[in-house]
Amino acid sequence: MRETHRPRETAGDSGSGLPQHRPGRAFVHASGAPGSGTPHRSDGRPPHTPRGARRPGPAGHPGTTPPVPGWPASPFLPVSLLLGSLLALFALITWQVAADGPLLRLDERVGESLFRRGPAGLTQLFSDLGGVPVALPVLVCAIAYALWRGARRLPVYAALTMAAVPALVIPLKVATARQGPLTEAVNYYPSGHTATAAVAYGASALLLLAVPRPAWLRAWVPPAAALLLTAATGVGLVLHGYHWPLDVLASWCLGPVLLAPLWWVSRRARLRSGEPRATR
Decide if 193 is inside a domain. yes
Q: What is the pLDDT of residue 270?
A: 73
Domain membership of residue 154 as a residue range: 77-110+127-279
pTM of the model: 0.72
Whether residue 45 lies inside any domain: the answer is no
Residue 104 domain-assigned (yes or no): yes
pLDDT value at residue 76: 80
CA-CA-CA-CA torsion sign (78, 82, 83, 87): positive
Q: Is the model's pLDDT at 13 over the cut of 60?
A: no
Give the tens place of pLDDT for each residue, 82-138: 999 999 999 999 999 999 999 999 999 999 999 999 999 999 999 999 999 999 999
Is 180 inside a domain boundary?
Answer: yes
Report percent pLDDT > 70 for the chain.
70
Q: Is residue 48 part of a domain?
A: no
Bigger pLDDT: 29 or 256? Answer: 256
Q: Report the alpha-carbon distance of residue 255 to residue 82 in Å, rounded.
A: 12
User: Facing residues of 278 across strands?
Assistant: 213
- What's the pLDDT score for residue 30? 46
Distance (Å, whole) CA 227 – CA 233: 10
Question: Is 216 a residue whose pLDDT tops 50?
Answer: yes
pLDDT above 90 covers a percentage of the chain that reads: 62
Q: Does residue 180 surpass a pLDDT of 60?
A: yes
Contacts of 111 (CB under 8 A, 6+ apart): 181, 238, 244, 245
Q: What is the distance between the alpha carbons of residues 172 and 165, in angstroms, rounded to a whole number?
A: 11
Task: Provide the domain count of the chain.
Answer: 1
Q: What is the mean pLDDT of residues 244-271?
A: 92
Q: HSE-up of 3 (CA within 13 Å, CB side)?
A: 3
Distance, in Å, from the CA atom of 216 to the CA atom of 237, rounded to the nearest integer, reads 32
Residues 172/94, Cβ–Cβ less than 8 Å: yes
Helix (H, G, I), strand (E, B) or coil at 213: strand
pLDDT average, residue stretch 142-168: 95
Give the mean pLDDT of the chain: 82
Compute the distance between CA of residue 181 and CA of residue 22 in angstroms, rounded to an integer.
99
Describe the chain by its helix, strand, coil percentages, rounded to 5. Answer: 55, 0, 40
Q: Nearest 10 degrees: CA dihedral of 111, 117, 122, 126?
A: -10
Residue 17 lies in a domain: no
Residue 85 lies in a domain: yes
Q: 158 with 208: CB under 8 angstroms?
A: no
Q: What is the pLDDT of residue 179?
A: 95
Backbone angles phi, psi at 193, to 5 degrees: -65, -40
Identify the CA nearest to 157 among candidates 147, 169, 171, 166.
Answer: 147
Residue 14: predicted pLDDT: 45
In a domain, residue 197? The reply is yes
